[in-house]
Chain A
Amino acid sequence: MDCLEIKDLTVAIQGQRILDGLSLVVPKGEVHAIMGPNGSGKSTLAKVLAGHEDYEVLSGQVLMDGQDLLQMEVDQRSRAGFFLAFQYPYEIPGVSNANFLREAVRARLGSGEDLDAVAFYKRLYGLMDELGIDRKFTARSVNEGFSGGEKKRNEILQMAILEPFYAVLDETDSGLDIDALRVVAEGVNRMRSPHRGFLLITHYQRLLNYIEPDFIHVLAGGKIVRTGGKELALELEETGYDWIKEGALATA
């Protein structure tokens, strides 16, 4: 029960099939990585799990701790404990980071409950310090004028505040220099817990030097074509993804 279970998921966008019978189980307490060449459907998986409207689920099921995730609204999924760190986080002009985070936290309170503002800020500032985010960022508009690295750190901050049960990180390492990458990785590592499952989506092995996964899956042609331990990443780093294409062609 305590897992994010993707069963035989087939998804299309504008009539084109992107995921084709993908199955994957991420139990709580584990970190899984999905690697794969460009266009293999990695980001599609992330968006579908979050509930983006552009994608059409043709068949399959996703269960989050037994709940039918695909039947839930985007915001319901979030409140139930699903988090997506965006590859390209959006800007929200005029809405301060603090305000946005507060609204997100408040959305999780029961009726009649109210946010303890003092405790909230204490926690927020603590997490910002850990992530090396200047406290002045609380007053800045969400992601507006942020550098690539700042945006990604902000995603991790949001994740840390919201404490999801399952977090999908979509190419969080892209566009990061090595220092920023380290900070982001530390942020994720601190959140590793028996009560939380992670799915890292990445093109490069680099991120996995800092966040050590329990399992690595290779996505190609819309399905998982290979699963292994962390050593698989090193192998991919050496051999690249060409073998998959050949292999996929061979089995086709």
Chain B
Amino acid sequence: MLPDQNKPCILIYLAPHPGGEEKLREVQAGMEEEGIPYTVVQSNETNAAALSYEGASKSKLGVGVGIGSEDLCIHYVKLPAQKPLFSLQEAGSPAQWRHFGYNAARLVKGIPFKDRPSKNESYETNRDDLYQIVYRIVQKVLQESAHDHGEVKAWSKTL
């Protein structure tokens, strides 16, 4: 499959391998969420750095993503071929693949990259934080009842 040479888009070069489709899906989702078009090209090369560099040099936007069998890279056309901008030297997680999509798009958009997601993101507040929050609220309530000259505007209860 040949990419449309005239369309400005990020080129994703994919070495077909088991699990490659899952990675591709997340990378594509990341770019779509950021609103940058892409084209996918299948390739026989398996090294992500080489794949991504080929993508970058053929892309009108100068940005390529290489999905190798064992690694994942983002490349920019003006960089040396052996030095991709971002590189993931392991299988990684769906969240990490998604971030590669975001950051390839952000390179095109010219906005700061997203920080790498932590391995096990948790939204639970830990016990210490919780203690601090409760402590602060109790303090505040006590202070309010002690002073009570702060002005309070309330959106009516009759709503």
Q: Determine if chain A interacts with chain B.
A: no
